[in-house]
Structure 1
Amino acid sequence: MKTELRSTTTPISIPDSSLFNTPQGSLSGALKGCLGGLDGACIEKLLLHCANALESNDVTLAQQVMWVLNNVASSVGDPNQRLTSWFLRALISRACKVSPIAMNLHGTPTLQRTWTRSMTVTELAGYVDLIPWHRFGFCASNSCIFKAIQEFPIVHILDFSITHCMQWPTLIDALAKRPEGPPSLRITVPSCRPPVPPLLNVSTEEVGIRLANFAKSRDVPFEFHVIDGSSSSTSGDVLSSESSSFLLESLLGQLNPSMLDLRDDEALVINCQNWLRYLPDEPGGSTQDISLRDKFLKIIKDLKPRIIIVVDEDLDLDASSLTSRITTCFNYLWIPFDALETFLPKDSFQRMEYEADFGYKIENIIGFKGLQRIERLESGVGLAQRMKNAHFLSVPFSEETVREVQFLLDEHDSGWGMKREDGTLVLTWKGHNSVFATAWVPSGLRD
């Protein structure tokens, strides 16, 4: 972690350290060297100190650390302060589960219910365009897909993503200009999605109608299908995830050639954008000997797709230790907070709304346990090994794809960059990995 990138310039007042001496530990020790101001490294120490107190059920010490954090946290401050405010919320949420009565004592920061809203399609488009967090994956994937389906007259995309098909208008437009003419395009999406933002105020079926109208305007033959099954609400609590695992497991039972209406004359593309992380990686449910994540990979391999795209955030958040997750998360999520600081004012509603979605991630990672913690990210390196273990072969991105992605990044702040690592494209911010994109084929099917 480059703490200098996240340093805060706003000093806070530190109370008399004698107030924080406890039999279990001393908060003054955590504050040593931080008097006069808290930079990223000091804040991280305090967060870990609080986590250790919670894991040892020392609610009193946890409250004391939260009091200090509450003096630096600010939802409209610098990136460090804004990030701290979300970690503080998550820790309070965790503490309330440990000791609800104690955490209501006078002086403890008050936890308001986290709020989100459903966006219009236009607002979602602006959300996606704000920073290249999603567009990087869209661009890399679409370019790779376009190359993989060259000369195929019929294309079927099985789309697993959390961004409501925002990826596809660009691909449809590119297919309309294909020298040999556009293919007949079919997109199939699941009716359920992980209960996470961004949320959309129209149904999946309405999204399909809009895509169909756009394809028609580009003279691209188009079909849109939704895999039948229970759907998760887009208006409820995005952190109420008890049923999410069950819904996703039910979905896997429908991923077969008959239910998907797979056809011999079509090129099948499987697109996974920020999706695999929500499939539990521990054995359970009706498949005691294999995780849903590995079961999903086995199922899609048997579908014999032309290409499989996997895009996700590049960090490992599946550690059982709370302190390990805090360290990893804190040293990663400064990236979007720092990036937004470069071009949006501190009181920008758009900025606060975008940060709130990362706040949901923090609250789930820190505040929840077991299957309620649905944010189980896997690093690009870890994902690559999992895919190889499942007998997939990596497909390197072409130079043309690299050029297209670089052209996209040139539209954004100069802090954004890209690098290649063993066939993987990685989006970076000031040299730090943020999002990875990979392409795969089942072994034995590569041309």
Structure 2
Amino acid sequence: MAEKDSNKIHHLLWMLNELSSPYGDCDQKLASYFLQALFCKATDSGHRCYKTLISIAEKSHSFDSIRKLILKFQEVSPWTTFGHVASNGAMLEALEGEPKLHIIDISNTLCTQWPTFLEALATRNDDTPHLKLTIVVTTSIVKSVMKEIAPRMEKFARLMGVPFEFNVMSGLNRLGELTKESLGVKEDEAVAVNCIGALRRVDVEERKGIVQMIKSLRPKVVTIVEEEADFSSLRNDFVDCFEECLRFYTIYFDMLEESFPPTSNEKLMLEKECSRSIVRVLACDDEIDHGGYSERREKGTQWSQRLQESCFSPVSYSEDVVDDVKALLKRYRAGWSLSIPTTDDSGIYLRWKDQPVIWGSVWKP
């Protein structure tokens, strides 16, 4: 570690130590998590700490606890449901009239997006299409619960009367290993690729390759939803990366603080997830070999540039989809809003207290 960075880290350690408490208020908890990450950075113990945190999470996370967490989070915040509604609407419009659908879901949503999609298919005016859903998972926590999710999805599809095939790809160590051949796409299938909170898990050097692989599938539509933060271009300047990380998680913790009761177990679980991510961003390099993945988020403008360089074209959300998203936000507490940039048509933003936090977009090759 360079002496300049070392001096900056020790100064930040001193400041955070004055404020931090793992049992305090929002600011004190956040300071505690950043203090832990900075200590790991200063002592070159980031990988060891991160592996320990992941191991603890794997042992304490059951299917029921994760399911309860996801449903409660969706109940109190549109952080995830924003992407579900926007992406489902775009895919339903792009795939209308197709008899055979193949959705490749490269996400971390644990299939919570798909019941409403199946309901929409079942109530369409035209003949109900056959849906093949391929779920791509790489994180160990997600792998452990997919065996519980599969029969539930199949049962729900039967109840909806939708011809359904459900596949799980769980043999990958990282998304960069995904290939066209492994996905089993057939010539008579209309393909959609759904990426919600997924592309940031691809190593930065492999992102162009995964975008090209998606293009090779010749999808009718690609939906991409990512958190609005830049931990990628700033990684070579530790202080800039630290400030961006602090900015993003301060907004996130503020949202959690106002959305959940103070003693909520679900809130605590989400905060602990953040603590792992903060260690991953600030104290680990991009290579990690135990249940880890890249935390090098990029902003919507950065993803847009990469996609357009790979000959993808942005597609504007229809007025109907935008209206659905606006209706969704009305279900939640004040503070949430939708932003539609006027300078281009490559995406929309979910905002918390006027700060963009989630970017949603639609693309065609």
**Distance apart, 1:203 and its partner CA:** 3.9
1:98/1:221 CA distance change after superposition, 3 Å:
closer
Aligned counterpart in structure 2 of residue 409 of structure 1, from 314, 323, 329: 329
Determine if the alignment matches structure 1 residue 55 to structure 2 residue 5: yes
1:303/1:173 CA distance change after superposition, 3 Å:
same
Alignment size in residue pairs: 347
**Distance apart, 1:370 and its partner CA:** 3.6
- CA distance in structure 1 between the partners assigned to 2:139 and 2:51 by the alignment: 23
**Distance apart, 1:380 and its partner CA:** 0.1
Partner of 2:17: 70
Determine if the alignment matches structure 1 residue 297 to structure 2 residue 220: no
Partner of 1:218: 160
| TM-score, reference length from structure 2 | 0.87
Aligned counterpart in structure 2 of residue 379 of structure 1, from 270, 289, 299: 299
Q: Is the 8 A contact 2:176 2:209 kept in 1?
A: no
RMSD: 2.6
1:132/1:170 CA distance change after superposition, 3 Å:
same
Partner of 1:280: 203
Partner of 2:317: 397
**What percentage of residue pairs aligned between the two structures are identical?**
29
- CA distance in structure 2 between the partners assigned to 1:201 and 1:302 by the alignment: 26
Q: Is the 8 A contact 1:76 1:346 kept in 2?
A: no
Indicate the SS of the match to 2:118: helix
Aligned partner letter, 1:131: S
Q: Cα deviation per residue 1:139-169 (whole Å; 9 max; x = unaligned)?
A: 1000111111111111110110112222111
**Distance apart, 1:75 and its partner CA:** 3.1
Q: Aligned ranges for residues 84-103 of structure 1 at < 5 Å?
A: 84-97=31-44
Aligned partner letter, 1:161: S
Partner of 1:313: 227
Indicate the SS of the match to 1:133: coil
1:301/1:71 CA distance change after superposition, 3 Å:
same
- CA distance in structure 2 between the partners assigned to 1:200 and 1:394 by the alignment: 30
Q: Is the 8 A contact 2:337 2:351 kept in 1?
A: yes
Partner of 1:289: none
Indicate the SS of the match to 2:43: helix
Indicate the SS of the match to 2:297: coil
Where structure 1 has 5 or more consecutive residues not aligned to the other structure, the ranges are 1-50, 100-109, 232-243, 283-291, 443-447
Partner of 1:187: 133
1:129/1:181 CA distance change after superposition, 3 Å:
farther
**Distance apart, 1:53 and its partner CA:** 7.0
Q: Is the 8 A contact 1:89 1:111 kept in 2?
A: no
Q: Aligned ranges for residues 33-432 of structure 1 at < 5 Å?
A: 55-56=5-6, 58=7, 62=10, 65-97=12-44, 114=53, 115-116=56-57, 117-121=60-64, 122-123=67-68, 124-190=70-136, 192-194=137-139, 199-200=141-142, 202-227=144-169, 230-231=171-172, 244=173, 247-250=174-177, 252=178, 254-256=179-181, 259-282=182-205, 292-318=206-232, 319=234, 320-372=236-288, 374-421=294-341, 422-423=344-345, 424-432=347-355
- More helix per residue: 1 or 2? 2
**Distance apart, 1:136 and its partner CA:** 0.8
Q: Which has the higher contact order (CA 8 A, sep 6+)?
A: 2
| TM-score, reference length from structure 1 | 0.72
**Distance apart, 1:201 and its partner CA:** 8.1
1:350/1:87 CA distance change after superposition, 3 Å:
same
